[in-house]
Amino acid sequence: MNDPMIRAALIPQLLKMHPQAKLIPELGLHQGAVRADLSLLDFKEKYLWGYEIKSSVDTLTRLPTQAKVYGEVFSQATLVCSQKHLESARALLPSWWGLTIAEATGASAGVRLTSIRTATDNPAVDSLSLAQLLWRQETLEVLEEHGWDRGVRSRPRRFLWQRLADNMPLQQLQSLVIQTLLSRTDWRE
């Protein structure tokens, strides 16, 4: 059982559970240092949810770093993994992460997904990391709209992100980021 097999089972399940949401594969986090396997954006519920997939052929070597970076951005996160990784993953992940087991169902190459632990709200989303999901022009437009652009217009994007993170309340920033990501049409610059 590999990653594409797990995705083939997970994506329809997520879309059925969240019909108004959008799924984004391989969303770059922390300025591209980590990629979330699947990101679920739900503007109605104000959620940015990350899914990490670890099949039986994967290792958990990168999971601690991925968990840290996911924890800076996502409202909730879930690890979808093979039974082989369950106990090790449970020890590596914060308690707010959800855990789902992916098991091969037999000759049809199907995958059954079983929730082991339901994700809960992340208690420590970081405003600056969240702001970094926005492109430079998107950030500048928001700063201009609120009158926060003075002194940073021509500065590198990290200064724009910091200004936004310093001035916008977290809940409002989360809504803004979700809405901006949902409205994007050109994902690869």
For 132-141, what is each residue's pLDDT tens digit?
Answer: 999 999 999 9
- Structurally, the chain folds into a number of domains equal to 2
Are the CB atoms for 147 and 132 separated by under 8 Å? Answer: no
Residue 189 lies in a domain: no
Domain of residue 25, CATH code: 3.40.1350
Same domain, 108 and 176: no
The boundaries of the domain holding residue 36 are 3-117
**Close Cβ partners of 189 (under 8 Å, ≥ 6 residues apart):** 135
Q: What is the pLDDT of residues 15-67, one digit of tens each?
A: 999 888 899 999 999 887 899 999 999 877 778 999 999 999 999 999 999 99
Q: pLDDT at position 105, please?
A: 82
Please indicate, yes or no, whether residues 47 and 110 belong to a single structural domain of this protein: yes
Report yes or no on 86 lying in a domain. yes
pLDDT at 107: 57
Residues 113 and 41 in one domain: yes
Q: pTM score, two decimals?
A: 0.91
Q: Give 185 or 125, the one with higher predicted confidence.
A: 125
**Is the residue at 61 inside a domain?**
yes
Count of CB atoms situated within 10 Å of the CB of 101 = 17
Among 118, 123, 127, 134, residue whose Cα is nearest residue 27: 134
- Asked if residue 122 is part of any domain, the answer here is no
Does residue 61 share a domain with residue 13? yes
For the segment 70-87, the average pLDDT, to the nearest whole number, is: 95
Scored b (16 or more CB within 10 A) or e, 70-83 reads bbbbbbbbbbbbbe
Give yes or no: residues 113 and 140 share one domain: no
Whether residue 110 is found in the same domain as residue 152: no
CB contact set of 118 (below 8 Å; sequence gap of 6+): 98
Same domain, 110 and 134: no
